[in-house]
Structure 1
């Protein structure tokens, strides 16, 4: 009797969902957000919780860094590039049940660009001349000048859409249009979000997500090993990643960020005003040895100021390949066979550890360096503002920031009118194919000029339960986008 019933019992258990995939997740974070309003705070930890989960903008970043529709299902651009007409999705509601329409978009954009705006990226909105709403599902944004990057600007977390009725409470009780709703925030411990059953788009697989704050690297390791945390997208202890890689229960997710890490050179400071010297320095650096020695093997070599995960990336690493003999020849040609340079290093490990490796590599070609370790405040004052340096190592983490090379007064002081003209053309170009060509030309131009020694893209190293799929490999923006995350059986 017992044996005859056993198959039926087993079937009943399976049918009850006991073997169904999980629909909750706990995400580890090293830093707690100071608030939950991305339109009134600069901390990356805010977007790591709310971007694409709670709040949405007209456009958004995809996992590969491309710009895709968000609350706007499409948009049109006038021939002169100054008028953007956004067509909104129908049937979108905020988490409190109120309708999201063009008036909310106008409110959000006008609020961000207002004189008293507290938006940390107010510059994204300064080109807006007016915002009009001819009907509830249409928003017309008129710019003061052509801006082909406007859809990109609208994808930032700082440009998400809020309702006027709830915007004032967003710091502690965020109300958005996203696939998840805010549930709870136990300060110092965790933030919880739950599935939005009335979401206008495709429903997420997860019903609940908890963002667990764990700042100590040892505690992060212990939490992952114990299963208290399911995934740590920005794992703070890369030295332990090999242990996770050896364990089939985990997957180690290594990707890229927006952080171009460079050995910046003061282009107006002799002898670095001589391109031959800058090229010699670039050829003296063994990028892979640097990545192995300073980054424990994590990092992607770059040959220009552009992220490898971008669709517009050009691999120019071969142009400045490790070639110490070429380096020595260039130095001799430039009459700099006994060169001494100052190397200023800010606090991050990539700079301090990387500085030691680079100093040794430069020494091998006849360049001595005097290393000075600076705190961030000193670095900002002396290097960034005062331009009192020869060499420095820093990671530029802002997305799509190749335009900094068009600023002659920027700290590395590169002044090329041709590059500046190229950026002007890019700013006024709206055709995506043409913009891609210009971005590729820009990468080539600064590589040709050996403005800086381009080292590696700052890595994104994460750990997750091996049964989790859909976490972002790369980080085109600071986000833990859970819209496509799910558990496998």
Structure 2
């Protein structure tokens, strides 16, 4: 079931009950864990040693940050929660799954009951034992609407609180409402980290997990600091004494903090910044391919996007390659208004890469009652590298179709609380996630994140069929249909998936770039 890193090797093969639902997860990568490990090019291998505090500067701090992993939804809280807490199992690059707190897990014949066995001797960072009572409590919190977890709606479709069965201190069974082949992928994501039973308020003192570090200070949108967890379950890890993070919005200051040695890791950086880093002999660039999406959202419930002809016109007015080249200098993969990329088994066969069609865009606008073009406002912020540039380039590219876009640049610290999911048209960002998770989060009738508000019950029906199917080919075929609906009907103008870039000093080793957690410092060390 696991290799030395505790990573599940999924393979398309006959189902083997009581071990794993091998091959029963749609679109999962058939690969071993190990991708994303960053080492300085041509550097001599060094023996890992303990010591040193890693200084990190990040660009997207926001007042929405939370120490509650069940509520984590922003880039920054994703990073620190991944180091304070652990999950039963963790989603890795390429949608592989690795074991964390779970020593092993299995399902019944139908895939309707999943049993997890914890590793022996687990404890929280305060030294108290971690048992299945904590696991049960953590999952019940996600299910509770009062917690306001982004994963509540999707988990509630699968599991009721009474379906959580503690067998003993190390064994827990989830009795699902119906068979769900996607359950491991669903709970391997960030909102399913395990917290101490009884924790309801999350502060520096109470945000206690079993991860490699424990929190010592926290100022939302500004900074956080953590130190080594001496009770970490992985022997002799972590190597670092701690991690210290500060938020730096101004890009020139961010780069200077790395090149001057004040920061060991910075992110996320744009291609122009990456060139400055590569020109230095003190730092290098780490690349995480197809790790995220940066795109334009149109709210289908707000004018003028409540007219599908306007939305289609805007999508047709986009030159995808030009947008990728201008904003990210080609660091990415073209796609056609879906949060998946060509070559993935769930990408629609006949979707291809949609070409710009200015004539058709103009015709659709005229048909929608805008013969002289249309005036729009597009909101953005410097919250992440490329967001302002994307809005600016988008406006220029669609202008020949008669789409006149005024850019509204907002404050980075309040963008995700006052603009995102509020304004009719804005730039958004999402990390890459498994297709079922992404579709549930963005396009189900009750999504975790109400961006475009597609509200097509057919998406719900397809997701239900995928979860109950144990046939990978059928799952992928269903998901291709769902993505086609998204491409045709949603308000997302997604031109490409992104290669996310990070700047790292040359004296740090074994940082992992990660599509879900952004960065992992579990094995990192200084040389």
What TM-score do you get using the length of structure 2 for normalisation? 0.70
2: distance between equivalents of 1:189 and 1:289? 36
Q: Which residue of 1 aligns with 2:167?
A: 134
- Pair 1:456 & 2:496 matched: yes
Q: Please, which moves more after superposition, 261-270 or 438-447?
A: 261-270
Measured on the aligned residues, the alpha-carbon RMSD in Å equals 4.3
| SS of equivalent residue, structure 1 residue 401 | helix
Q: 2:321 aligns with which of 259, 267, 288?
A: 288
Contact 2:72 2:78 in 1 (8 A): no
1: distance between equivalents of 2:210 and 2:228? 13
Measured at CA, do residues 65 and 341 of structure 1 come closer, stay the same or move farther in structure 2, by a change above 3 Å? Answer: farther
Show CA shifts across 1:291-319 (max 9, x none).
Answer: 34345655543224224499656388973
Q: Aligned-pair distance for 1:158?
A: 2.8
Show CA shifts across 1:124-182 (max 9, x none).
Answer: 5533232211222210122344444433342233322223377767643543222x232
Measured at CA, do residues 467 and 433 of structure 1 come closer, stay the same or move farther in structure 2, by a change above 3 Å? Answer: farther
Q: Which residue of 1 aligns with 2:18?
A: none
Q: 2:399 aligns with which of 363, 368, 380?
A: 363
Q: Which residue of 1 aligns with 2:103?
A: 73
Q: Which residue of 2 aligns with 1:250?
A: 283
Q: Aligned-pair distance for 1:345?
A: 0.9
Q: Please, which moves more after superposition, 293-302 or 266-275?
A: 266-275
Q: How does 1:394-409 map to 2 (within 5 A)?
A: 394-397=427-430, 399=433, 400-403=437-440, 404-407=442-445
2: distance between equivalents of 1:170 and 1:213? 18
Contact 2:62 2:416 in 1 (8 A): no
2: distance between equivalents of 1:434 and 1:346? 39
Contact 1:148 1:427 in 2 (8 A): yes
| SS of equivalent residue, structure 2 residue 380 | coil
Contact 1:257 1:307 in 2 (8 A): no
Q: Which residue of 1 aligns with 2:355?
A: 322
Q: Which residue of 2 aligns with 1:224?
A: 258
Contact 1:261 1:455 in 2 (8 A): yes
Q: Please, which moves more after superposition, 306-315 or 212-221?
A: 306-315
Contact 1:260 1:305 in 2 (8 A): no
Show CA shifts across 1:221-252 (max 9, x none).
Answer: 232112222212434x7653321111243211
Q: Aligned-pair distance for 1:56?
A: 0.7
Q: How does 1:96-135 map to 2 (within 5 A)?
A: 96-114=126-144, 117=147, 121-123=151-153, 125-126=155-156, 127-130=159-162, 131-135=164-168
Q: Which residue of 1 aligns with 2:520?
A: 481
2: distance between equivalents of 1:384 and 1:103? 36
- Pair 1:193 & 2:227 matched: yes
2: distance between equivalents of 1:157 and 1:430? 25
Q: Aligned-pair distance for 1:437?
A: 4.0
Contact 1:29 1:234 in 2 (8 A): no
1: distance between equivalents of 2:254 and 2:304? 47
Measured at CA, do residues 170 and 101 of structure 1 come closer, stay the same or move farther in structure 2, by a change above 3 Å? Answer: farther
Q: Which residue of 2 aligns with 1:12?
A: none
Contact 1:346 1:379 in 2 (8 A): no
Contact 1:49 1:211 in 2 (8 A): no
1: distance between equivalents of 2:325 and 2:301? 28
Q: 2:192 aligns with which of 159, 181, 188?
A: 159
Q: Which residue of 2 aligns with 1:446?
A: 486
Contact 2:48 2:239 in 1 (8 A): no
Contact 1:148 1:429 in 2 (8 A): yes
Equivalent residue pairs, number: 457
Greater C-alpha Rg: 1
Q: How does 1:373-384 map to 2 (within 5 A)?
A: 373=408
Q: How does 1:294-443 map to 2 (within 5 A)?
A: 294-295=327-328, 298-308=331-341, 314=347, 319-324=352-357, 327-328=358-359, 336=367, 338=371, 340-348=373-381, 353-364=389-400, 366-369=401-404, 371=406, 373=408, 392-397=425-430, 399=433, 400-403=437-440, 404-407=442-445, 412=452, 414=454, 418-429=458-469, 434-443=474-483
